Amino acid sequence: MLAREGAKVVVNDLGGGPAGGGSDVSVAAQVVEEIRARGGEAVANHDNVATMEGGERIIKTALTSFGRLDILVNNAGIVRPRIIYNMSESDWDDVIDVHLKGHFSTVRFAAPIFREQKSGVIVNTASESGLGHLGQSSYSAAKEGIIGFTRTIARDLGRHNVRCNAIRPRAATRLFNEEALAAMQRTRNLLGNAGALGAGSNPLDDKPEQVAPLVVWLCTDAAANVNGRTFVVGGDMIGIYPEPAPERVIVREGGWDLDALDRIAGNQLTNGLCNEFSGAK
């Protein structure tokens, strides 16, 4: 869609599987061919965003191929569903590296270019899994880290006329392998349809093509005043998340001690909060 709207596109994909293994160069090449078949301009890049060298080469590919950089969409990801007591160090590190460090590695080398030209757009890809998702602690941590990263980059670069926003997309992609789908079903079995993915939501019914318009819109001048915000998008729906703020506040002159906290236990501070997380009724 970016190409259809006139962008010259670098398609980066290492070509790994949903869990991160492998390197199939045909994945990026196929998208390049789809763009060219429709009259657009695109080149493939197969670098690994989990490394600083890879992030730098992706940015340089845009400069050497097209002479400039205007838009950066961070979307690379892998998934390794594991309950926390079964999660290995590599399961954790690899997911964090691809998602969270992968966003940093490209933004780090795009930022000086955007700052110098006083223009640029960054769209980061987070997930509703960041709100809590059974068996996805590494994925959740990385995705919610991207939200904080987005808010800060919006402040770092906003003064240079560069904006950075994030999306939480719902779409069936090749990331949804059998293992990931099984983990999602376990979440549904425990939490019902009102789990992290939202009431009545089924990502398998949603298509990436339904996410693309918001991503492209965020890259246009129509969104020039949108910066540091987080959107959810999928199917026929687009939503925007409020900026976080404390839900309830209690102030005690002189501060708090254990006895004071005990005295208010069971009132508005804990009702519906602690019980919700403990599973108590």
- SS3 labels along 160-213: CCEEEEEEEEECCCCCCCHHHHHHHHHHHHHHHHHCCCCCCCCHHHCCHHHCHH
Q: In whole angstroms, give the CA distance from residue 153 to residue 71.
A: 14
Q: What local confidence, expressed as pLDDT, does residue 187 receive?
A: 56
- If asked whether residues 124 and 181 sit together in one domain, one would say yes
Looking at the fold, whether 227 and 164 belong to one and the same domain comes out as yes
74: in domain: yes
Give yes or no: 139 in active site. yes
**77, 98 Cβ separation under 8 angstroms:** yes
pLDDT band, very low/low/confident/very high, at 281 (cuts 50, 70, 90): very low
Location of structure tokens 């780090």: 108
CB 187 within 8 A of CB 135: yes
Q: What does the pLDDT average to over 74-103?
A: 95
Mean pLDDT of 12-23: 82
Q: What is the pTM of this model?
A: 0.87
pLDDT at site 175: 73
Q: Is the distance from CB of 234 to CB of 171 less than 8 angstroms?
A: yes
pLDDT at 16: 80
Neighbours of 33 (CB within 10 A): 14
- pLDDT tens digits for range 198-240: 444 555 678 899 999 999 999 999 999 999 999 999 999 999 9
User: Is residue 159 in some structural domain?
Assistant: yes
Question: Within this chain, do residues 204 and 74 fall inside the same structural domain, yes or no?
Answer: yes
Q: Is residue 18, in this structure, part of any structural domain at all?
A: yes
**Position 2 in a domain:** no
Average pLDDT over residues 265-270: 61
- Encoding tokens for residue 168? 């939480």
Query: In 3-state terms, what secondary structure has residue 265?
Result: coil
Query: Using an 8 Å Cβ cutoff, are 16 and 22 in contact?
Result: yes
Q: What is the mean pLDDT of the chain?
A: 88
Q: What is the DSSP string of 16-78?
A: --TTS----THHHHHHHHHHHHTT--EEEE---TTSHHHHHHHHHHHHHHHS---EEEE----
pLDDT on residue 143: 97
Please state the φ and ψ torsions of residue 82, each to the nearest 5 degrees. -150, 135
- In the chain, the percentage of residues whose pLDDT exceeds 90 is 70
pLDDT in tens, 124-172: 999 999 999 888 999 999 999 999 999 999 999 999 999 999 999 998 7
- What is the pLDDT at residue 88? 97
Please state the rounded mean pLDDT for residues 110-123. 98
- Give the model's pLDDT for residue 137: 96
Q: Which residue of the set 92, 109, 114, 139 is catalytic?
A: 139
Neighbour-count burial for 88-118, b at 16+ CB within 10 Å, e otherwise = eeebbebbbbbbbbbbbbbbebbbebbbeee
Residue 3 lies in a domain: no
Residue among 92, 75, 94 nearest 84 (CA): 92
Task: Give the model's pLDDT for residue 205.
Answer: 74
Domain span holding position 166: 9-240
Q: Are residues 130 and 202 in the same domain?
A: yes
Cα distance between residue 60 and residue 87, in whole Å: 36
Same domain, 279 and 205: no
pLDDT at 51: 97
pLDDT at 278 over 70: no
Closest CA to 171 of 122, 222, 213, 116: 213
Same domain for 266 and 203: no
Furthest-apart CA atoms within the chain: distance in Å: 71
User: Is the predicted pLDDT of residue 183 greater than 50, yes or no?
Assistant: yes
pLDDT at position 64 over 90: yes
| pLDDT at residue 180 in the model | 57
Q: What is the pLDDT of residue 198?
A: 47
Token code pair at residue 209 = 């093509």
Among the residue ranges 191-195, 207-211, 271-275, the one predicted with the least confidence is: 191-195
pLDDT, position 275? 47
Output the pLDDT for position 172: 79
Say if residue 170 is in the same domain as residue 275.
Answer: no
Tally of structural domains, the chain: 2
| pLDDT computed for residue 1 by the predictor | 96
Alpha-carbon span 99 to 96, nearest angstrom: 5
Same domain, 140 and 264: no
With beta carbons less than 8 A apart as the criterion, state whether 111 and 54 touch: no
pLDDT at 58 exceeding the cut of 60: yes
